[in-house]
Chains A and B, each alone.
Chain A
Amino acid sequence: DTAVSQTPKYLVTQMGNDKSIKCEQNLGHDTMYWYKQDSKKFLKIMFSYNNKELIINETVPNRFSPKSPDKAHLNLHINSLELGDSAVYFCASSQARLARGTDTQYFGPGTRLTVL
């Protein structure tokens, strides 16, 4: 069974389109995250949710909107896609009940987004 899954694995789209990436975890974890990995492999946090509540919202354009329908799911919706949004997006989860940074984060397989 996959612990943290993301769909789709690859996403190719035109500039200006709106797209969503879905993430699900079956680990029973309380906290979920989105990270962005750029072309130089640098990884940076975008958002985190703890039991459906937004905890971290880094300096991310408001074209990016996370949505957590329940604590097992954290989706990422991106409006008006731009060339610079091309990257690999990773979802992660951790057990952390209070989002204190104590627990290991387990990552999904990543979604490679290419904006043409």
Chain B
Amino acid sequence: AQKVTQAQTEISVVEKEDVTLDCVYETRDTTYYLFWYKQPPSGELVFLIRRNSFDEQNEISGRYSWNFQKSTSSFNFTITASQVVDSAVYFCALSTSSNTGKLIFGQGTTLQVKP
């Protein structure tokens, strides 16, 4: 079975705090791809990052960083020095080589950043 779990339903932080959004995935495929998407209040889905299963290097993009650990099947997302504009629903998603391209989404984590 393929599954993505985002155990944190809602997180509330004050601006400038660091926050980590957790993502745990399940798959038996050895080749798979992990994604993070952001859905701001305006409703669109914005692609943030894609990581393949053979690349465990962590990635940093500005205030965003991602920690991929195959040993724990996790692909966590950290926002450093959060800002009000980071308030959104964040989705982790999985796609595998055997599932013909469909994205399997987690339940989403709603992040509220208060000024």
Contact = CB atoms under 8 A, between A and B. Distances in A.
Interface of A: 31, 33, 35, 40-45, 48, 50, 55-56, 58, 88, 90, 92, 94, 96, 99-110, 112
B101 A96 contact: yes
Given A56-B100, A107-B45, A41 B107 contact: yes
Interface residues of B, number: 27
Contact of A42 (B99, B102, B108): B108
Nearest to B110: A41
A45 B102 contact: yes
B64 interface: no
Contacts of B44: 107-110
Interface in B95-110: 95-97, 99-105, 107-108
A104 B102 contact: no
Contact of B101 (A42, A101, A106, A109): A101
A90 B39 CA distance: 12
Contacts of A41: 39, 89, 107-108
B47 A48 contact: no
Interface in B55-72: none
Contact of B97 (A42, A50, A100): A100
